[in-house]
Structure 1
Amino acid sequence: MGINRRPATEAEARALASSVRLRILRLCLDQALTNKEIADRLGANPATTLHHVRKLVETAFLTAEPSRPGPRGSTEIPYRATGKSWEMDVSESGVSGSNAAILDAFLEEVRLVDIEESSFTRLGLRLTAEGHAELQRRLQEVFDEYRDRQPPPGGEAYSLFVALHRDVTRDGHP
């Protein structure tokens, strides 16, 4: 939607054009996790995960918290999402794949949930350019309002995915 967001740099847009990185940001949103914890939750190789974590740290989407003692005398570094991705618009970056990465991250995450305990809604609309812009603006206002709220103690984690797209099936296209 990109309303009132700054344009992403090419490096930032490239960092966000990965469903794995987007999932890492979501995992580290509420709590700091180590690379091993991230890899375990993703069911991924820790070396591969570390590559993604480093890219997110380089672009300031993740920040390292103070190290802590790990198993067998090792030192672990927990990482937390900074929230920076919400403040930028990747659509004008010239880097392709951002929307595909968002959709892929959603599909990977929704496969893990109980569909019967989820809420889905579909709505067909016909909008003018002005109506389309108004809908985007109003949705963005709601998203920003909820993003800026302090999480309540004991609140459950939810994710929201909204797709506004041309409905080519209703205009006689395949």
Structure 2
Amino acid sequence: MTTHRRPATEEEARALASGVRVRILRLCLDESLTNKEIAGKLGANPATVLHHVRKLVDTGFLVAEASRKGPRGSTEIPYRSTGKSWEMDIHESGVRGGAQALLDAFLEEIKLTDVEDALLWRLGPRLNDRDREELVARLTVLFDEIAARPPSPDGTPFSLFFAMHRDPGR
């Protein structure tokens, strides 16, 4: 169980400061995908996606698997997420943009689903520092527990996004 994450290096934080890269990691979580397959799922240019894939490979967030024969005899390289991003805290790196990248990835992904089928909660608590720290600690333990579970072979893929922010309107 990972309740204490290490700070991301500057290079790692910069790699995760892109909503596209965060989405690539999610796409390659359950299955290995080639650059062309990733580009197709993102509706993006394969050359642009390759730039992002290389950055993720260079920083250890994606790993290249054994090459395989593709259509027309071409050689394809599938990529798989390593899960490394869950082990670190991007907020302590000093690099800005990581939180925005997570939000951008979430907003793009939620557009692809029927939001009426999503479970949504909204709560407006008033917390002192101790209460906030307790809530964050409990949620961290829960999220780490879920992340550590092996995927169910017959399971349905879900995405979980949690945001806690100061409420400037109150």
TM-score range, shorter chain: over 0.9
CA drift of 1:155 comes to 0.2
Q: How many angstroms apart in 2 are the aligned matches of 1:100 and 1:3? A: 23
1:1-174 mapped onto 2 (5 Å cutoff): 3-170=3-170
- Amino acid corresponding to residue 146 of structure 2 in structure 1: Y
Q: Where has structure 1 moved over 6 Å in runs of 4 or more?
A: none
Q: String of CA shifts for 1:34-79, please: whole Å, max 9, x gaps.
A: 0000000000000000000000000000000000001111000000
Conservation of the 8 A alpha-carbon contact between 2:22 and 2:102: yes
State the SS of the aligned residue for 2:91. coil
Aligned positions, number: 169
- Amino acid corresponding to residue 165 of structure 2 in structure 1: H
State the SS of the aligned residue for 1:168. coil
Q: How many angstroms apart in 2 are the aligned matches of 1:30 and 1:73? A: 25
Q: How many angstroms apart in 2 are the aligned matches of 1:118 and 1:169? A: 25
Conservation of the 8 A alpha-carbon contact between 2:3 and 2:141: no
Q: Which runs of 5+ in 1 are unaligned?
A: none
CA drift of 1:93 comes to 1.1
Q: How many angstroms apart in 2 are the aligned matches of 1:18 and 1:156? A: 26
Q: Which runs of 5+ in 2 are unaligned?
A: none
- Amino acid corresponding to residue 106 of structure 1 in structure 2: F
Q: How many angstroms apart in 2 are the aligned matches of 1:116 and 1:125? A: 25
Q: Report the RMSD for the aligned CA atoms in angstroms.
A: 1.0
Q: How many angstroms apart in 2 are the aligned matches of 1:153 and 1:105? A: 25
TM-score under structure 1 length normalisation: 0.95
CA drift of 1:153 comes to 1.7
Conservation of the 8 A alpha-carbon contact between 2:3 and 2:144: no
TM-score under structure 2 length normalisation: 0.98
- Amino acid corresponding to residue 104 of structure 2 in structure 1: D
- Amino acid corresponding to residue 120 of structure 1 in structure 2: L
